[in-house]
A and B are shown apart, each in its own frame.
Chain A
């Protein structure tokens, strides 16, 4: 049979982590498309049971090397909700600042090292560096500005250890920010250039009808706090998350797939945040968006590369605002008394909402933990994108089809390492 073959590709490069994508084509028709993630954070949920509540931030930070702050902050907010404390003022601002650092690091890494090579026809960022070394050097310096924020506030940039329930172990002096502030001013201009580069890339036509879900706060672009909203009318406190969303077990994946009950799959991450929170962006970010015609709803996932770049401008602009207004708080952390209860935390990881729930007893021992990472929430949506995308490219060689599928998956910047390692890709043709 001339059109019957099976192709196995080792792994899907340039996706953080590991998983598997299985595509079956019969007589030039797509018959099956499954994204498989081997392991969700179930190990960590079990590992946390019986441990002191204060350990949750440091342990969950280890789930992902790219977004430890998101894990730290979601767990801290959940615990603070149980304890009934609310961190405000400069401590809250510092938490926003460290989140800015994580977005800058993660977004710049994805845009330039993982995603841009797709659009430019390079196999990887090393080839890109060969042809456009100045662009790659600029990206590396931009990312480093994010690292510096996390290092200054977190203690070290991988698995930061300075955040705690109630605040920080120690807080910086105003003078500590001096050289970082100068670098961020350079980074602001560089990030605006990065938006222009991203916007110059050619995207396939692929507008989709999505349910976007993100945090929403009336006064600020969301990092740590807000209500959970969607473009189909959802508007809930995060404590009601599990009333509206459920994780279902699908046979082909060890990971659970999230669905919005009664609605089906949904989309979390930069596009969702942007479409639901455009008004909360800084004036500068909005101006950059207007200049490139992005003051609109963005429903083509390939354009997420532009939105990630715009969010990078925002994160840098917001970091500068926080640093310029910073005054060292008198207390580095709020006091609290341990009490039993259930708490919820939901923050905007670079890839989308990261939900944590904990139940602790009167001694502060964790009885149960639940963690829903953004990639688990996008998983079903990614499969549907691929199902709609592949038929357009059925005539491509398997090699090129594989690459197109990789691109479509990379739109979501899936941090599969939150769940597992990397993605193996199989295309089967009959």
Chain B
């Protein structure tokens, strides 16, 4: 097992609010966190199942469209809760994040600790910038993920 925490940011840089996962990764990068790997992904499910295999602690962040108010932050404990099937509709691929989590659960391949942040997007049109309400949600989630990392490090000395 890798002695690092994996943070996966999912999204497309050219698709408006779909880029929020990448924006959060960009903010996290500035914090120069030790023993943390940051990975950008397009959201193809089997690829995600592949990259998290050597990590015990994984945090995944992506845009979602569940009908909630834009900017709403959903936090899912991937080990305890099922990811709603239509949650990650706006992942670019139909075998996407939700399918990856549920298939990994079915095959016994989930990371030991998986936390998913879904940020409710408003606009997923191609070629537009992120909506203003998503910007503030991104800042909030960045802070939450840093807290998440801190708490993991406190519990698991291997990452300290």
Contacts and interface: CB of A to CB of B under 8 A. Distances in A.
Interface stretch (B25-33, B71-79, B87-95, B139-147): B87-95
Interface in B49-72: 49-50
Nearest to A68: B42
A113 B42 contact: no
Chain B interface residue bracket vs A: 20 to 34
Interface stretch (B102-110, B129-137, B150-158): B102-110
A143 B46 contact: yes
B94 A158 contact: no
A66 B93 contact: yes
Interface residues of A, number: 36
B50 A144 contact: yes
Contact of B126 (A10, A39, A114): A39
Main secondary structure of the interface of B (DSSP, over half): loop
Contacts of A125: 95, 99, 103
B12 interface: yes
Interface centre among A113, A158, A421, A422 (most CB of B within 10 A): A421
A147 B127 contact: no
A158 B41 CA distance: 7
B95 A65 contact: no
A119 to B, nearest CB: 16
B95 A113 contact: yes
Contact of B42 (A43, A136, A159): A159
Contacts of B106: 126, 129-130, 133
Contact of A65 (B42, B99, B125, B126): B42
A8 to B, nearest CB: 14
A158 B45 CA distance: 12
Contacts of B86: 10
B123 interface: no
Interface string B92-126: 11110001001100110000000000000000111
15 contacts: A13-B94, A17-B93, A17-B94, A39-B125, A47-B14, A47-B127, A62-B14, A65-B43, A65-B44, A113-B95, A130-B106, A133-B107, A140-B49, A158-B44, A422-B89
Interface of A: 10-11, 13-17, 39, 43-44, 47, 62, 65-66, 109, 113-114, 124-126, 129-130, 133, 136-137, 140, 143-144, 147, 157-159, 417, 420-422
Interface of B: 12-14, 40-47, 49-50, 86, 89-90, 92-95, 99, 102-103, 106-107, 124-127
